Structure 1
Amino acid sequence: MEDIKQKLSQEKYTDKEVEAILERASKLQQEADLERQSINRSDLKAGAEEVGISQEFIDKAIQQLKSEQREKTKRKKKMLIWIGIPLAILAFIVIIMAVSVYNMLNGQMSIVEEKRAQLENVLQRRHDLIPNLIAVAKTSAIHDEKIIESISSVIKEIKESKNFDDKKKLEDTLSSLVQQLMTTMQNDPMTSSNTMFIRLGDEIAGTENRISVERKRYNEAVSNYNNLAKSFPNNIFRSIFGFPKSISYFQVSDDAKQVPKY
């Protein structure tokens, strides 16, 4: 023991630290000795006889101990079952909810895409009419070259744009420019009486009317999606599945809301 103390002191431990180390080491050794100790049934019987306990009670004690251990194991299993079943039911409910929410969001998103496609079709119809409108406008004595250039520029931007939100703003601008051009042309008696202009006016007015209808349907589909996406628990699953938080409406200026009459 003195050799150990001396060795620890040489390693620059204080006397107090040396005593603490030796005390802890002693406890650890005692615990290790107890773990290594074991007693078999014959030793247990011999020890019991020495203190006057009969083999019958030794056997009963062993059986009781085993029975208690089995009961303890059963209780653990029951506890796991009672915990596991509710968790399994909860997981099943969550999965069902997740599938249901996904189907609802995906279905409503499909409707939005469908309405968007229909809206883009009628917007394209307006684009198809504009070259003829510009051709007639250039024959007018009072046509506005700046408006014509602006219309051409906006159409080019629409074709180049990949973002539908940007396209919606550009389409609103285009609608206002077309109305300005038509109004200017109507002020020219020669142009306003032109058969081509009259026919184009009717076609553009009809197209603007269809655009208004399809825009309303698109916005209704967007509104339904947004309401669905923000409600609980849809908003939680929406973010998990990667659906957009909301979709912007197709907003138009007050002038564009009025269907023109030419």
Structure 2
Amino acid sequence: MKKTGKIILLGIIVGVIVIGGLCVSQYNSMVGIREDVENQQANIDTMLQRRVDLIPNLVNTVKGYAKQEEEVITAVSDARAKLSGAQGMEEKATADGELSSALSRLLVVVENYPDLKSSEQFQSLSDELAGTENRIAVARKDYNDAVKTYNQRIRRFPSNLFAGIFGFEKAEYFQAAQGAESVPEVNFNE
């Protein structure tokens, strides 16, 4: 009897160690993947901030040439402020869409001012902004890839059991705002 009791006790101890090790492994893995998501989100925030920082210089350059285009300039400044104060990925995506639309209208205005287009300062700022836009696109893709990996992990069995126990929740994708796929309408006849 004593030998059987020791074997059962040893089996229980080994079972607890195996289950405990599995829990720790699952938890640590999910924490690592969640950190990847947060790191990619921080990369998007950095690129959005870079764009927000470039815009005042671009706007001031355009102001010097296009004083009568105050409405477009105001729209860019307002959209920039909205993006600076955005919280959460959905709000940031919406504000980013508004800013992209306002910048598109601003660049249409630039077409009417050949001297502005040929300005070295404007060209430099335009190049910086274009580079930043490309970095933002890459950062969005990287973020969404990290979110996909994370969301798949917390939804698959048996990870979903541990995710529920440890409070891991689904992450939001960075999605373009509704209407972002359409070209903004610019009318100078009003």
Q: Which has the higher contact order (CA 8 A, sep 6+)?
A: 2
**Rg bigger for which structure?**
1
For 1:194 and 1:113, the matched residues in 2 are separated by: 39
For 2:98 and 2:22, the matched residues in 1 are separated by: 43
Unaligned runs of 5+ in 2: 184-190
Q: Equivalent residue for 1:247?
A: 171
Matched, 1:162 2:98: no
Q: Equivalent residue for 1:150?
A: 75
Q: Equivalent residue for 1:124?
A: 49
Matched, 1:108 2:33: yes
For 2:68 and 2:144, the matched residues in 1 are separated by: 35
State the SS of the aligned residue for 2:160: helix
Residue 99 of structure 1 and its aligned partner are, at CA, apart by 0.8
Residue by residue over 1:87-107, the C-alpha shift from the partner in whole angstroms, topping out at 9 and shown as x without a partner, is 544433322221111111100
Residue 144 of structure 1 and its aligned partner are, at CA, apart by 3.7
Residue by residue over 1:10-56, the C-alpha shift from the partner in whole angstroms, topping out at 9 and shown as x without a partner, is xxxxxxxxxxxxxxxxxxxxxxxxxxxxxxxxxxxxxxxxxxxxxxx
Q: Equivalent residue for 2:148?
A: 223
State the SS of the aligned residue for 2:104: helix
Query: Would you identify which runs of 4 or more consecutive aligned residues in structure 1 move more than 6 Å?
Result: 80-83
State the SS of the aligned residue for 1:93: helix
Matched, 1:234 2:159: yes
Query: CA separation of 1:84/1:160 partners in 2, compared to 1, >3 Å: closer, same or farther?
Result: same
Structure-2-length-normalised TM-score: 0.80
Q: Equivalent residue for 1:138?
A: 63
Q: Equivalent residue for 1:188?
A: 113
Structure-1-length-normalised TM-score: 0.60
Matched residue type, 1:249: Y
For 1:197 and 1:176, the matched residues in 2 are separated by: 19
- Provide the identity percentage: 36
Contact 2:37 2:146 survives alignment (8 Å)? yes
For 2:109 and 2:9, the matched residues in 1 are separated by: 77
Contact 1:143 1:184 survives alignment (8 Å)? no
Q: Equivalent residue for 2:100?
A: 175
Unaligned runs of 5+ in 1: 1-73, 257-262
For 2:81 and 2:37, the matched residues in 1 are separated by: 25
State the SS of the aligned residue for 2:91: helix
Contact 1:151 1:178 survives alignment (8 Å)? yes
Matched, 1:208 2:133: yes
Contact 1:143 1:185 survives alignment (8 Å)? no
Matched residue type, 1:97: L
Measured on the aligned residues, the alpha-carbon RMSD in Å equals 2.6
For 2:98 and 2:74, the matched residues in 1 are separated by: 13
For 1:118 and 1:110, the matched residues in 2 are separated by: 12
